[in-house]
């Protein structure tokens, strides 16, 4: 479908989804949320896409939050539905069995931070700033921030960021585990590509089931999570990819995985 708030480029099995509203610092209005949902569905279904980058247009912002002018017009029912729609859209990225890496090239605030949290991996440029400033506006995170952030950095750190609404720099975000890597801005894309290539060289079924096990397991009691892991381990033992991977290791050659 044609997009007005996003761009999608696909090269060598990797899609780059860019939120493209640089004049608004890539703020998430309702139209952008809807397009993100459509794009997530498209990329998850495309056979020529094995991995996804999410980033923002320009050099100032990844996504600098929600469109406050639009948000200010919503009543209680509209706001609740907007929150639920945003949560559903971001869940499409979190639950994707294709690796999703956020390339945080600038401000990632509010809904932008929540979008990054929904990605599997976060790489930030040195000048990036992250935060959930909603309480400064008399509201609270609505696109998953109160749930994903504490799962990532712990309850105390999450509450500190949410209740103060303060921004942190990329170095602090890395220190507390909010981002995986911090690199010079000029190296952001190359760092993401190196990591993505490592993932795409692995067995695609193993990658997909690992993403599912980690994502779903966080919401399960340990024993249930271990049972799911064992089931996945058994499923993979029936695949041609596992046989190929084991044979390649023993024969000291690179594996040729086929996703079967």
Positive/negative CA dihedral, 91, 92, 94, 100: negative
CA end-to-end distance (rounded Å), the chain:
30
Q: Residues 141, 92: contact at Cβ < 8 Å?
A: no
pLDDT in tens, the chain (260 residues): 789 999 999 999 999 999 999 999 999 999 999 999 999 999 999 999 999 999 999 989 999 988 787 877 888 898 899 999 999 999 999 999 999 999 999 999 999 999 999 999 999 999 999 999 999 999 999 999 999 999 999 999 999 999 999 999 999 999 999 999 999 999 999 999 999 999 999 999 999 999 999 999 999 999 999 999 999 999 999 999 999 999 999 999 999 999 98
Chain centre to alpha carbon of residue 202 = 20
Q: CATH: 3.40.50.300, 3.10.180.10, 3.90.226.10, 3.40.605.10. Which one for 6-200?
A: 3.90.226.10
Give dist(CA 142, CA 57) in Å, integer: 23
Domain-wise residue ranges, the chain: 6-200, 204-250
Give the contacts of 21 (CB within 8 A, at least 6 positions apart): 5, 27, 29, 32, 57
Whole-structure pTM value: 0.95
Identify the CATH homologous superfamily for domain 204-250: Lyase 2-enoyl-coa Hydratase, Chain  A, domain 2 (1.10.12.10)
- Residue 67 pLDDT: 77
- What amino acid positions are annotated as catalytic residues? 114, 134
């Amino acid at each position: 479908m044609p997009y007005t708030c996003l761009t999608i480029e696909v090269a060598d099995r990797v899609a780059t989804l860019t939120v493209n509203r640089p004049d608004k610092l890539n703020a998430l209005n309702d139209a952008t949320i809807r397009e993100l949902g459509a794009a997530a569905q498209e990329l998850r279904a495309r056979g020529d896409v094995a991995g996804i980058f999410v980033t923002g247009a320009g050099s100032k912002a990844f996504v600098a939050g929600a469109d406050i002018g639009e948000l200010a017009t919503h009543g209680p029912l509209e706001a609740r539905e907007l929150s639920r729609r945003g949560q559903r859209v971001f869940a499409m990225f979190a639950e994707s069995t294709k690796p999703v890496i956020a390339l945080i090239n600038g401000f990632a605030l509010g809904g932008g931070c929540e979008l990054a949290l929904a990605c599997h991996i976060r790489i930030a440029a040195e000048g990036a700033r992250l935060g959930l400033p909603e309480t400064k506006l008399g509201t609270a995170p609505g696109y998953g921030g109160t749930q994903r952030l504490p799962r990532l950095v712990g309850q105390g750190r999450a509450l500190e960021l949410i209740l103060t609404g303060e921004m942190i720099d990329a170095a602090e975000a890395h220190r507390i585990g909010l981002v995986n890597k911090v690199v010079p801005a000029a190296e952001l894309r190359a760092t993401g590509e190196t990591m993505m290539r490592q993932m795409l060289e692995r067995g695609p079924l193993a990658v997909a089931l690992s993403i599912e096990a980690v994502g779903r397991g966080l919401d399960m009691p340990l024993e249930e999570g271990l049972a799911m892991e064992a089931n996945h381990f058994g499923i993979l033992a029936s695949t041609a990819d596992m046989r190929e991977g084991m044979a390649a290791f023993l024969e000291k050659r690179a594996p040729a995985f086929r996703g079967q």
